Structure 1
Amino acid sequence: NGDSLRYDTSVYSAFRTGLLSYVNNTDSIANGTLGQNSNPYVYFTNETDNSGNYHPFMCIASYSITDRPNHLLDVPRPPGDGTGGYGSSKVTRDATLQQYLFKIPMKDYGVVSNLTDNTMGTTLRDDYIASNPSYSIATNCYNYASKSGLGVTIDGLVMYPIMNNNVVPAQSVAEITSSGFHVGRGMGLHYHADGHGAHDTSFNLYNTHDYHDHKHPPLVGFGFDGIALYGRYEDDHSDMHGYGTALDAYGGHEHGNYGYHYHCHSVSIINGVDQDTSETLFVEDSSNWTVSNKTNVSYTLHLLMKGAWKGQINDVPRFWANDSGTDNNGETGAPSYSLSQKHKYVGKST
C-alpha cells in the first residue's frame, strides 16, 4: 500500500543485538540477579488495523536496569517524597527491576512541521501548571513533552525528558548520577541526561571507544516516535558523516541516506536560556514575579532526548497508556510501555 519502514532493517537489527547483549554485572540492583539478561526479549510484530493498514513494531521486554554500578549513592540531591520540605524528605537510593514492554514504531509516519502538530495528552508543562496555576511557562521543545518516558536506550533503560516534573533540568539540581540517570519513588532507573564518558570503559551508555573505526556516532536509543538516537559528535572525529550538519530545535538532523535522526548533544545555558535556540528553561510566578531556575550562572546541559518528539505520533496505534486501559493506570500523557499492555501490536491477546 505504499508504506515503508523509517530506516533500513539493519538499523533495527543492530539495536536488537545491542539490547540482547546486556547482562546484569552488578549487585547494585536491589532485587536483581547477577548474570540475568537486562532485556530478555526483543521481537518484531506487523499487524493490521481495522482498515487493513500494517503497523510494524520492534517490541522490547526490559527490566530497565544497567549492567554496571549505578552510583546512586553518589547523587548529591536525589529526588525526595516532598513531605516537610526537602531537608526532611525521604529519598530513594536503590534501584529495582522494572517490567516494561517498549514498542518502537518502525513504519515511517513522517515528521512534524510545527511543535504542536503531535496531539498530546497532558504535557510536562501542562501537568506543572495544573498544580501551580500562578506560574507561566512558554511552550517549547523542552516542555511540550511526555510526563514520563520519551524512548528507550540501547541498554534498555527508559529515557525521560531533560526536565524533571518541576520543569527544571534534572542535571541543574544535581539529582542524577554522572551517567545521567536516577530513580524516582517507583525505584526504576531512567535517564534524564547524557552521561557520555571520555574513556574506553563501559561505565556510561557510550564512550570514546564506540567511535573508533566508525563513520558515524553510535546508535544509543530510539524515541517512542520511532526516531533513532545517536551519540554526540566529537571534535576528535570531525570526519564522521553529518558532523557539519546543524541540529534542529528537537536535537536532530538528516544527512546522506541516514534519514532524520536525533543526536545527543550539549547546549550552553545562561540565565535559564538555551543559547542555541533562545528557548527559556525557567518558569515565572505571576503572583509575585519570582523566577525559578533563572540565576546568574552558566552551565552546559548534556542532552539525550530533549523533550518534544519530531516524529509523527498521531497515527501510531496504542501509543498512549490510556489507549489500552490496562497500562500505567490509564494515565493521560504517559506513553504505553507497561508489561500489562494486551493488544495485537505487542503480540499479546486481550
Structure 2
Amino acid sequence: MDSPLGDANTTLILLALVFLSSIVADVSCSSDDPSLSAFFYDYTCPQLQDIVRSDVEKAFKREARIAASLLRLHFHDCFINGCDASVLLDDTKTFKGEKSALPNANSLRGFELIDAIKARVEIQCEGVVSCADILTLAARDSVALTGGPSWEVLLGRRDSLTANRTAANVLIPPPIADVPKLVSMFATMGLTEVDMVTLSGAHSIGQARCSTFRQRLFDDRGSGSPDPTMQKQFLGSLQEICPRQGNGNAVAPLDFVTPMRFDNNYYLNLQYGKGIFASDQVLFSGRGITENYVRYYSYDQDAFFQSFVRSMIKMGNITPLTGKRGQIRKNCRRPN
C-alpha cells in the first residue's frame, strides 16, 4: 500500500498548507464577536469555569463517552441559529424542540449533565450564566480531557427563547453528504472548507449508531454492494457489529484505533479507507483542499490542534445572542 503521506509532491503540499493555515488563523481571529470575551464572568461568576470543568471531569470518569456527546451537542446547537442553547429546549405548546429532529432524536446525549452543571452554577451565581456558555465550556473541556487542546472560550452568549426543529432537520450535515454538499452547508454558517475538514476531526472520539452508516456496508446508495472506498477488513468488522437486519442503535467507535483519545488518527484512518461515515471518507476521495488537509493533519497533529481551536472559536461565534437579546434561562430545558 502507498504511504499515507502520498506522492513526491507531498512536501510541497505541506509547506503550502502551513502558509494557508496562517491565513485561516488571521481570518478566524478577525471574525470574533466583539461582544464576547474570555473574561465575561470574571467578576459576576468567577467560579464558573471550575464548576464546569469539575462536573465534566467527574462525568467523564464515570463514562468516557460523555466527552464526545458534549462536543456533538455543542456542534448541533451552533448550526441552528447560532450557539444559543436552543438544542437544550424541550417541546412546548408553542414550538417543537430540536431534540426530536431527525439528526438528533435518540442520538444526542448529555442533557442531564448540562442540567446538573446549570443547577450548581445557579447556586453560586443566580441568573448570571447562560446555558449556551455552559455548553460551550463543556465542549472545550471535553476535548481537553480526552487529550486534545484547550483554549480560552469567548463568553457572553445569551439563551434563545425558542427552538427550530425544521432548521435542525435541514441544516445539520448528514452522514451521507458528499464534499460539495458539506462545503455548502458549512458555508451557510460562515465556515470555510478548511473549517469543515478541521471540525470533522471531532470524529476522533465518539461512537456512531449502525443506522447512520449501515447502508454503506451492504447496499451503498442503492448499488447493491458495499461502499468500494471502505477497506475490506474494516468492512468485515463493521458488518459483524452491524449485520444487515441487526439493531440500528448498536454502536461502533468512529476511530477503532484510539476511540477515546482526541488525536489526529481520524485523518490517518481516512487514508486507509477506514472512515465510518460516507461524509468522513469523502474528504479523502479526490484531489483537492479536503484531501490535502487530511494528509496535512495526519502528518502534523500540532497543526490539527491549532486549527481545531481556531475553527471551534469561529463556530462558537456564529450569530450569538448578546446584549439584551435572548435571556439567561433559569432552567436550560425551558424559557423563563
Fold shared, TM-score > 0.5 on shorter chain = no
Bigger relative contact order, structure 1 or 2 (CA pairs below 8 A, ≥6 apart): 2
Name whichever structure is richer in strand by fraction: 1
**TM-score category of the 2 structures, normalised to the smaller one:** under 0.3
Name whichever structure is richer in helix by fraction: 2
In the superposition, the TM-score normalised over structure 1's length comes to 0.27
In the superposition, the TM-score normalised over structure 2's length comes to 0.28
